[in-house]
Amino acid sequence: DAKTTQPPSMDCAEGRAANLPCNHSTISGNEYVYWYRQIHSQGPQYIIHGLKNNETNEMASLIITEDRKSSTLILPHATLRDTAVYYCIVRPRGYKYIFGTGTRLKVLA
Protein backbone atom coordinates (compact mmCIF):
# COMPACT_ATOMS: atom_id res chain seq x y z
CA ASP A 1 0.00 0.00 0.00
CA ALA A 2 1.25 3.47 -0.88
CA LYS A 3 2.17 5.55 2.16
CA THR A 4 1.43 9.23 2.61
CA THR A 5 3.39 11.99 4.31
CA GLN A 6 1.76 15.12 5.69
CA PRO A 7 3.00 17.99 7.86
CA PRO A 8 1.88 17.46 11.46
CA SER A 9 0.29 20.87 11.86
CA MET A 10 -0.62 24.08 10.04
CA ASP A 11 -2.25 27.40 10.89
CA CYS A 12 -4.48 29.43 8.59
CA ALA A 13 -6.17 32.80 9.02
CA GLU A 14 -9.95 32.78 8.86
CA GLY A 15 -11.21 33.70 5.40
CA ARG A 16 -7.96 32.78 3.70
CA ALA A 17 -7.31 29.69 1.62
CA ALA A 18 -5.90 26.69 3.47
CA ASN A 19 -3.52 24.60 1.35
CA LEU A 20 -2.79 21.20 2.84
CA PRO A 21 -0.03 19.19 1.11
CA CYS A 22 0.37 15.44 0.92
CA ASN A 23 3.22 13.39 -0.46
CA HIS A 24 2.44 9.95 -1.90
CA SER A 25 5.52 9.23 -3.98
CA THR A 26 4.96 5.45 -4.08
CA ILE A 27 1.44 5.67 -5.45
CA SER A 28 0.60 3.28 -8.27
CA GLY A 29 -1.52 3.91 -11.31
CA ASN A 30 -4.82 2.51 -10.05
CA GLU A 31 -4.74 4.04 -6.57
CA TYR A 32 -7.04 6.91 -5.66
CA VAL A 33 -6.13 9.80 -3.37
CA TYR A 34 -8.71 10.47 -0.68
CA TRP A 35 -9.04 13.26 1.84
CA TYR A 36 -10.94 13.07 5.10
CA ARG A 37 -11.13 15.29 8.12
CA GLN A 38 -11.81 14.55 11.74
CA ILE A 39 -13.26 17.05 14.13
CA HIS A 40 -12.53 16.25 17.76
CA SER A 41 -14.50 13.31 19.17
CA GLN A 42 -16.17 12.47 15.86
CA GLY A 43 -15.55 9.93 13.14
CA PRO A 44 -13.65 11.12 10.03
CA GLN A 45 -15.72 12.79 7.37
CA TYR A 46 -15.17 12.33 3.64
CA ILE A 47 -14.08 15.48 1.80
CA ILE A 48 -12.99 14.63 -1.73
CA HIS A 49 -11.10 12.11 -3.82
CA GLY A 50 -9.38 11.89 -7.19
CA LEU A 51 -7.30 9.69 -9.45
CA LYS A 52 -5.55 11.89 -12.00
CA ASN A 53 -7.52 15.03 -12.67
CA ASN A 54 -8.09 17.93 -10.34
CA GLU A 55 -11.41 17.76 -8.53
CA THR A 56 -13.70 20.31 -6.91
CA ASN A 57 -16.82 19.99 -4.82
CA GLU A 58 -18.74 22.18 -2.41
CA MET A 59 -16.23 21.59 0.36
CA ALA A 60 -12.82 21.75 -1.27
CA SER A 61 -10.58 21.39 -4.30
CA LEU A 62 -8.03 18.66 -4.87
CA ILE A 63 -4.96 19.34 -6.98
CA ILE A 64 -2.96 16.27 -8.03
CA THR A 65 0.43 16.74 -9.66
CA GLU A 66 0.96 15.32 -13.11
CA ASP A 67 3.27 12.58 -11.83
CA ARG A 68 0.68 11.85 -9.08
CA LYS A 69 3.37 11.81 -6.41
CA SER A 70 1.79 14.59 -4.41
CA SER A 71 -1.48 16.42 -3.96
CA THR A 72 -2.88 19.50 -2.25
CA LEU A 73 -6.23 19.94 -0.60
CA ILE A 74 -7.51 23.50 -0.84
CA LEU A 75 -10.16 24.95 1.44
CA PRO A 76 -10.84 28.21 -0.43
CA HIS A 77 -12.16 30.31 2.45
CA ALA A 78 -11.30 28.67 5.74
CA THR A 79 -13.63 29.17 8.70
CA LEU A 80 -13.20 28.37 12.38
CA ARG A 81 -15.32 25.26 11.83
CA ASP A 82 -12.64 23.92 9.47
CA THR A 83 -10.30 23.42 12.43
CA ALA A 84 -9.71 19.65 12.38
CA VAL A 85 -7.23 16.91 11.58
CA TYR A 86 -7.00 16.29 7.84
CA TYR A 87 -6.03 12.89 6.52
CA CYS A 88 -4.69 12.14 3.08
CA ILE A 89 -4.86 8.45 2.20
CA VAL A 90 -4.26 6.34 -0.85
CA ARG A 91 -6.99 3.88 -1.66
CA PRO A 92 -5.87 0.73 -3.43
CA ARG A 93 -8.29 -1.64 -5.09
CA GLY A 94 -7.97 -3.96 -2.10
CA TYR A 95 -9.76 -3.79 1.19
CA LYS A 96 -7.48 -1.82 3.45
CA TYR A 97 -7.94 1.80 4.34
CA ILE A 98 -4.78 2.87 6.17
CA PHE A 99 -4.81 6.31 7.78
CA GLY A 100 -1.65 8.17 8.74
CA THR A 101 -1.36 10.77 11.49
CA GLY A 102 -2.74 13.60 9.34
CA THR A 103 -2.31 17.38 9.52
CA ARG A 104 -3.81 19.29 12.42
CA LEU A 105 -5.20 22.47 10.86
CA LYS A 106 -5.95 25.36 13.16
CA VAL A 107 -7.96 28.24 11.69
CA LEU A 108 -7.22 31.46 13.53
CA ALA A 109 -9.73 34.28 14.03
Partner 1 sequence: SQTIHQWPATLVQPVGSPLSLECTVEGTSNPNLYWYRQAAGRGLQLLFYSVGIGQISSEVPQNLSASRPQDRQFILSSKKLLLSDSGFYLCAWIGQGLAGNTIYFGEGSWLTVV
Residues contributing to the site for partner 1 (CB under 8 A): 30, 32, 34, 36, 38, 41-46, 49, 51, 87, 91, 93, 95-102
Shortest reach from residue 107's CB to partner 1, in Å: 19
Whichever of 30 and 66 has its CB closer to partner 1, that residue is 30
Q: How far is the CB of 104 from partner 1 (least distance, A)?
A: 10
32, 51 contact by CB (below 8 A): yes
Nearer to partner 1, 42 or 81 (CB): 42
Least distance to partner 1 from the beta carbon of 15, Å? 28
CA angle 96/37/31 to nearest 5° reads: 35
* Least distance from partner 1 to the Cβ atom of residue 16, Å: 26
N-terminal to C-terminal alpha carbon distance within the chain: 38
Residue 90: Cβ within 10 Å count: 22
Helices (H), the chain: none
Question: Is the Cβ of residue 26 or residue 46 nearer to partner 1 in the bound state?
Answer: 46
The CA distance from 38 to 75, in Å, is 15
